[in-house]
Amino acid sequence: MTTAVVSLDVIRQEGQGLLAEIEAIAICDAESFAVADDYLTAVKTYRKRVAEITGPTIKAAQASLAAARAQHAALDEAAEAAEKALKKKLTDYDAEQRRLAAEAARAAQVERERLEREQRAAERAAALAATPTAGVAVVVPPAPAAVFVPPAPVEVPRASGLSFRDNWSAEVVDLMALARAVVEGTVPIDAIAPGMTWLNASARTLKSTLAIPGVRAVNTPVASKRV
């Protein structure tokens, strides 16, 4: 155990030494360029050795983590599906009860308005009938008042600790209409985002011949070194 710790410490110091030396390099001519290239080889060799030393530990840890995650998924799969199914049933029932309650309220309002109209019509008819004709007074009993009996309320069920919340999201149903609104300035440009995966793939294929309005091809050379 002590040997492994010392060995890792020595390798770590070697990497720090390489970093310090490379940070001091100034590439200003062909000779310093060649020196830098040699250092790049040294760095890649160092990193390869680090990968060889730490690789088995990383591989074992990844295998252990993958096994733990697979075990968790296998044990939790049925419960996750059950929870989703149950939540949907509860949400659907709650939504239906709310719909029925709203429908009953609308029906009650319609019935209340109908009774009020009938009451006003009866009162007008009674007033006309009570108008004296040829000096003879006619006594008409008042129209009976309409009685509104509200329907029994629809109870929305409740359970301890259970609640329902709105979960709004946006769905683009007409991308061209959205794009036009952005162009016209009625919708902020944040409403749309460029498809960088497709654009980058097009740039890699077309290179400097890329011709897409509002887009330019950018080439950022990357140094590559084989050991």
pTM score? 0.54
Indicate the SS3 state at residue 150.
Answer: coil
Angle at 33 between CA 30 and CA 39, to 5 degrees: 150
pLDDT of residue 139: 54
pLDDT in tens, 42-58: 999 999 999 999 999 99
Q: Among 32-41, 80-89, 147-156, which is the least confidently predicted range? A: 147-156
d(CA 117, CA 160): 44
Q: Average pLDDT for residues 105-118, to the nearest whole number?
A: 89
Q: Average pLDDT for residues 10-38, to the nearest whole number?
A: 93
Indicate if the pLDDT at residue 62 is higher than 80: yes
Q: Average pLDDT for residues 134-150, to the nearest whole number?
A: 59
d(CA 47, CA 227): 11
Residue written as token pair 């590439």: 27
**Furthest CA-CA distance within the chain:** 131
Q: Among 69-83, 155-169, 183-197, which is the least confidently predicted range? A: 155-169
pLDDT of residue 205: 94
Nearest to 225 by CA among 19, 41, 35, 39: 41
Indicate if the pLDDT at residue 1 is higher than 50: no
Q: Among 43-47, 72-76, 157-161, 170-174, which is the least confidently predicted range? A: 157-161
pLDDT of residue 227: 77
Rg (CA), the chain: 40
**Residue type present at position 134:** A
Answer whether 46's CB lies under 8 Å from 18's CB.
yes
Q: Among 12-26, 160-174, 190-204, 207-221, which is the least confidently predicted range? A: 160-174
Answer whether 18's CB lies under 8 Å from 50's CB.
no
Helix orientation angle between 2-23 and 30-129, rounded to the nearest 10 degrees:
100
pLDDT in tens, 20-33: 999 999 999 999 99
Q: How confident is the model at residue 146 (pLDDT cuts 50, 70, 90)?
A: low
d(CA 117, CA 148): 12
d(CA 10, CA 13): 5
